A and B are shown apart, each in its own frame.
Chain A
Amino acid sequence: MGETIKKSSKTDQYKAPDYYQLDELLTDEHKMIRDSVRAWVKQEVSPIIEQYTEEAKCPLHLYKQMGALGALGPSLPEQYGGGGMDEISYGIIMQELERGDSGIRSMASVQGSLVMYPISRFGSEEQKMKYLPSLASGSMIGCFGLTEPDHGSNPSGMITNIKDDGDSVILNGAKMWITNSPIADIAVVWAKDEEGIVRGVIVEKGMKGFTAPEIKGKWSLRASITGELVFEDVRVPKENILPGVKGLKGPLSCLSKARYGISWGAIGAAMDCYDAALRYSQERFQFGKPIGQFQLTQKKLAEMITEITKAQLLAWRLGSLANDGKATPQQISMAKRNNVWMALQIAREARQIHGGMGITNEYPLMRHMMNLETVLTYEGTHDIHLLITGMDITGFNAFS
């Protein structure tokens, strides 16, 4: 069986900041979930992530481990292998995974929120039985195809399409920037039918005319694999169409779920950077003092913890709304945008505090920083989320 995994012997000294005693807002169960995922990340992700990132390799063995841990589809119904947990638990899991690496969190986000979620919400009973348990255990890998080479921020312009042909549909088109596509067993693909209505289609690896080439040369999410999906007259049985949804609200509801997770996830990356910087500021001496004694270093650290605390509050409140079924896509946009930007700024400041040491992979700063550039762009770019808020408060559409 597979290659042996080399683990670095360096210990992960991470300690999470909780400046506003937000732990008191969590249940004992939430805290146990967090401690479990944190322990797993320390044990399985931290010792390997720098190497996988450097080699731009996806740690595939982590899929089954995440499945066993329960990190794939944690808030989906238990009946089909989901965790039956609340939205705050799901958020906490994403936070802890992204504390390890945004690429690892992306693996779990795509599987849980973009593949399992649409099948669980819009799929037929047969589709649920066929795919969900294997996806939940990590023995099957899925991907989500919405973005196209010429349609990113504007998915409604998609040209990927299906044509009716008896018991099947014939799928043509191409998707771009698809997390997991080269390693996926199935792809949930969004395509227009002959009436121009967006439908979800489950395409299986090996179907004739379907290929998924890898996109090489990424400087971000290097431990997560990204590719294209190319469909040339792919015959897909009609029973693979998701019966429960028509129109763009299908993929958009998946994105809401994943974006919600990202708004928690980004906090994890930020906390990791802050924690590293705080420790370094106490250990690194210049001019005969720890650099943490200089006002300019303190300004950076104080602003970081302030922003992290605000982001934590935002995520927690959003989670409470989501638990009550009240979180709107617009509220989710605000949290995704704010928290990812916050994390990216913190990664940069934390990198500065580390001086030259921050440039190497001895410390996680550059990795988080580069990862967060993708997180800023995927699942709705930073600017698109701003326009969503703008439209929500003014009533004017500034997209087109």
Chain B
Amino acid sequence: MKLLVCISKTPDTTSKIAFKDGDTAFNTDGVQFIMNPYDEWYALVRALELKEANGGTVTVINVGPAENDVVIRKALAIGADDAVRVDAAGATALSVAKEIAAYAKDQSFDMILTGKETIDYSGAEVGGMVAELLGMPFISFASHLDHDGSVAKISRDIEGGVEVVEVTGGCVVSASKGMAEQRIPNMRGIMMAKRKPLNVVAATAAADAVKASKFSLPAAKSGVKMLEADQMDELVRLLHEEAKVI
């Protein structure tokens, strides 16, 4: 099987979020970056498991600048065979998807995996766009994925239940929690990662039509109000009028 996993770089979950340039850009000062957990823990690890079961190769692709190589090396340390970085800023979902599709179109991948979303901008768009650009089916929010080499059997989490689909031929799948378990790269993997190929390819310079114009933080949590145990009416009033949850 020939598998492609799309990986992106996101701020560490404990990062302090701030904006700059008049709230039009994310302030990366002092922020630690990691591989997007949905890409790493689920999409990549499941791809490696399928390769281990069926044979084949796992390639990872990232659209971004040279500083993303650290994250790409980690994917190689976890077990990917080779990596591609499309040398572009990769600002919006569509431009990223176009770059990935441009790279993948002649490569006849059996499956392309992404995380269900990135944990920073939560767009959940790239997978669907890549599928469309390549004319492949897209199966989103997959929590379980099996592949016997010709047919993929995929479970999707849907409201209140699970949908199971079967796909014949190539497809794009976005992975959600449950598809696999995180693998911590071992020392051997880390040492081998530096000898694995990381190919940098030029971008096709896909134009960006969408531009972020403003970011804002959620409102700060207000203080906790303590009520006595017998103030039930007051509790109901507050939930209704202030918290507006009932």
Contact = CB atoms under 8 A, between A and B. Distances in A.
Interface of A: 15, 28-29, 31-33, 36, 39-40, 43, 68-71, 74, 78, 83-85, 89, 93
Interface of B: 14, 69-70, 73-74, 77, 184-188, 190-191, 193-194
A69 B194 contact: no
A29 B185 CA distance: 11
Contacts of B191: 29, 78, 83-85
A39 B191 CA distance: 18
Contacts of B70: 28, 31-32
Nearest to A38: B184
A69 B185 CA distance: 8
A15 B13 CA distance: 13
A135 B207 CA distance: 56
A101 B186 CA distance: 20
The SS class assigned to the B binding surface is helix
B73 A36 contact: no
A69 B186 contact: yes
Contacts of B184: 36, 39-40, 43, 69
B14 A29 contact: no
A29 B194 contact: yes
B14 A36 contact: no
Contact of A36 (B69, B186, B194): B186
Contacts of A83: 187-188, 191
Nearest to B194: A29
B185 A32 contact: yes
A70 B191 CA distance: 10
Contacts of B73: 28-29, 32
A36 B182 CA distance: 12
A130 to B, nearest CB: 21
Contacts of B193: 32
Nearest to A28: B70
A353 B188 CA distance: 40
Given A32-B190, A70-B190, 15 more contacts: A28-B69, A28-B73, A32-B70, A33-B190, A36-B77, A36-B190, A40-B184, A69-B184, A69-B186, A70-B186, A70-B188, A71-B187, A83-B191, A84-B191, A85-B191
A69 B187 contact: yes
Contacts of B186: 36, 68-70
B162 to A, nearest CB: 27
B18 to A, nearest CB: 18
A35 B69 CA distance: 16
B187 A74 contact: yes
Contacts of B190: 29, 32-33, 36, 70
A36 B185 contact: yes
Contacts of A32: 70, 73-74, 77, 185, 190, 193
Contact of A15 (B14, B187, B194): B14
B67 to A, nearest CB: 10
Nearest to B14: A15
29 contacts: A15-B14, A28-B69, A29-B191, A31-B70, A32-B74, A32-B190, A32-B193, A33-B190, A36-B184, A36-B185, A36-B186, A36-B190, A39-B184, A40-B184, A43-B184, A69-B184, A69-B186, A69-B187, A70-B186, A70-B187, A70-B188, A78-B191, A83-B187, A83-B188, A84-B191, A85-B187, A85-B191, A89-B187, A93-B187
A70 B14 CA distance: 28
A-B pairs with lowest CB-CB distance, top 4: A70-B187, A83-B187, A70-B186, A39-B184
Contact of B187 (A28, A33, A39): A33
A350 to B, nearest CB: 21
Contacts of A28: 69-70, 73
A93 B191 CA distance: 14
Contacts of A85: 187, 191
A294 B185 CA distance: 42
Which of A15, A68, A93: most chain B CB closer than 10 A? Answer: A68
A28 B188 CA distance: 15
A367 B107 CA distance: 55
Contacts of A33: 187, 190
A89 B188 CA distance: 12
A32 B72 CA distance: 12
Contacts of B69: 28
Contacts of A68: 186
Nearest to A29: B190
A232 to B, nearest CB: 40
A84 B187 CA distance: 9
Contacts of A40: 184
B237 to A, nearest CB: 31
A15 B194 CA distance: 27
Which of B70, B186, B187, B190: most chain A CB closer than 10 A? Answer: B187
A93 B69 CA distance: 23
Nearest to A13: B14
